[in-house]
Amino acid sequence: MQYAENILETIGNTPLVKLNKLTKDLPCLVLAKYETFNPGNSVKDRMAVKMIEDAEAQGLLKPGGTIIEGTSGNTGMGLALAAIVKGYKCIFVLSDKQSKEKMDILRAVGAEVIVCPTDVEPTDPRSYYSVSKRLGEETPNSWYVNQYDNLSNTKAHYESTGPEIWKQTGGKITNFVVGVGTGGTISGVGKYLKEQNPDIKIWGIDTYGSVFKKYHETGIFDENEIYPYVTEGIGEDILPKNVNFDIIDGFEKVTDKDAAVYTQLLAKEEGMFLGNSAGAAIKGLLQLKDHFTKDDVVVVLFHDHGSRYVGKMFNNEWMKKMGYID
């Protein structure tokens, strides 16, 4: 018999899939690291389990404890699955711009969900950063995960996602393209790949309304770069400890409209029903095309599943209302 001991054992070893149509004008091979094959339908299962295991080992998370996190949904899903298997409770704090599907899904796997306003400063007591931090301090036997600054997040990708991509490409990868939120994925994968071959280029995909690109290029944290945006999962108005700017060769910004349109195109042209940050990542990769030659092997990582966006990027009424389609 061949079976996993529990659902957590099925995390990782996701496929690498060639893109065929959207990339037809590029000279190079483009491969997608397809993370929706994880049991929580996103790459974040990997870091959720790693952060919990490291917290257990450090005595920060004890039997019967409560896991508290400010999460845009996918990390919450990974944490919730691990909490069920390992016997913990979960409280998640989300901002009100996150899709309703994400909130319903987290409640479906037993988590308590608290919704906070998006349009307040991170330091405002109502912000989701502040509320999750306060709950962490006030709830007995609790552990505040802090995926932004918890370096077990990066480590998960250094230990699993990075080595998988290296092995699956037979060491032929030349460029890695990925959306950046907490920075765990790009920093862990990027560090591992550069240790194998320092010539591999690491590209971060950012949003308009986020500080990353300007900070990377100038070293200036420019508050004028910060304004509300629609794209989900990537871009930040803070500098998380998990973003290792030194291993990133460049950032490319993608508009909300392009990210939404390309999320639809991935489904229609490639049969890849994926989340909004996948649309941003593939559009960003296409914008970077002048950096690629025929010998390149470009890997783009797709973070999460389309089912979480059926009320938005896969709803043409919403797309029209936003002015993204006619």
146 forms part of the interface with ligand PMP (CB under 6 A)? no
Task: Report, in Å, the least distance between residue 78 CB and ligand PMP.
Answer: 10
74 forms part of the interface with ligand PMP (CB under 6 A)? yes
Task: Report, in Å, the least distance between residue 120 CB and ligand PMP.
Answer: 19
182 forms part of the interface with ligand PMP (CB under 6 A)? yes
List, in sequence order, the alpha helices (H) in the chain.
Answer: 44-57, 74-86, 100-108, 128-138, 152-156, 162-168, 184-196, 212-218, 256-270, 276-287, 316-321
263 forms part of the interface with ligand PMP (CB under 6 A)? no
Using CB atoms, what's the residue nearest to ligand PMP? 233
Task: Report, in Å, the least distance between residue 286 CB and ligand PMP.
Answer: 18
Task: Report, in Å, the least distance between residue 304 CB and ligand PMP.
Answer: 4
CA pair distance 206, 277, nearest whole angstrom: 10
Contact 28, 63 (CB under 8 A): no
300 forms part of the interface with ligand PMP (CB under 6 A)? no
For ligand PMP, what does the binding mask look like between residues 276 and 295, x meaning CB under 6 A? -x------------------
- For ligand PMP, which residue of 52, 106, 180, 299 counts as binding (CB under 6 A)? 180
Contact 285, 300 (CB under 8 A): yes
Name the β-bridge partners of 307.
none
Q: Looking at the annotation, which residues are catalytic?
A: 44
Say which residues have a Cβ less than 8 Å from residue 185's Cβ, sequence separation at least 6.
43, 157, 161, 178, 179, 301, 303
User: Scanning residues 29 to 58, which ones bind ligand PMP (CB under 6 A)?
Assistant: 44
Q: How many CB atoms lie within 10 A of CB 1?
A: 2
Task: Report, in Å, the least distance between residue 181 CB and ligand PMP.
Answer: 3
- For ligand PMP, which residue of 48, 82, 200, 234 counts as binding (CB under 6 A)? 234
For ligand PMP, what does the binding mask look like between residues 302 and 321, x meaning CB under 6 A? -xx-----------------
Q: How many CB atoms lie within 10 A of CB 4?
A: 10
Query: C-alpha distances in angstroms, 279 versus 147, 150, 255, 285?
Result: 23, 27, 10, 10
90 SS3 class: strand
Contacts with ligand PMP by CB under 6 A lie at 44, 72, 74, 179-186, 233-234, 275, 277, 303-304
